[in-house]
Structure 1
Amino acid sequence: MATINVTDDSFKTDVLESSKPVLVDFWAEWCGPCKMIAPALEEISEELADQVTIAKMDIMENTGIPGEIGVQSIPLMVLFKDGKPVAQKLGAAPKGQLKGWLESEL
């Protein structure tokens, strides 16, 4: 399964009520580093599909949730388990590093 797009409206259902952990990638169209990590996140979402859902949220189109959880810089990846943020990673990183971090948090 590839990454899913979440919105302020779908966040509760797609992320907080998910039966498995969800990594939310907060990004924006104008963010170069966000675009750099997008292909890596797509690959990771397929490689770890049975363990985690990877979701993307455009902070320009959705301001409510990023505001609530205090997103100030992007790309910001926040891992949610059982409806709670349990880990976060700020900034772009190579695929191996992203995957290693995510696996260590799952």
Structure 2
Amino acid sequence: MWPKTAKEAGVRFFVTILFSALMGPALVVVVRNWMPGLFDSARAVAVLYGSDPALGFLFIAAPLMVAAGLPAWWVLGATVRWFDKRRDKDIGELARDMAATVKDVRGGL
């Protein structure tokens, strides 16, 4: 979902960066606990290239931190689109629409 305006793009980009900074380290910790050999291999690759072994950690951590922010881009875009479709509704109508949407999703599962 591409943003409709430059302002929306800026907000979505900022939220994505913020989400990466907040959730990225948690994702790195989860992946490191789940697959510790991955980080050991990355350290070995860094040494093979004559780099600092700590750089191997970044080989894995940097893409994970970027990946952690990507869902924020989509979720924020979907939320903006959902509210935009219901621009003239009051809070009660929005709540009914949300309840109907949740009911439809649960019925489909």
Q: Scaled by the length of structure 1, what TM-score is found?
A: 0.26
Larger Rg belongs to: 2
Structure that is richer in strand per residue: 1
Higher relative contact order (CA 8 A, sep 6+): 1
Q: Scaled by the length of structure 2, what TM-score is found?
A: 0.25
Structure that is richer in helix per residue: 2
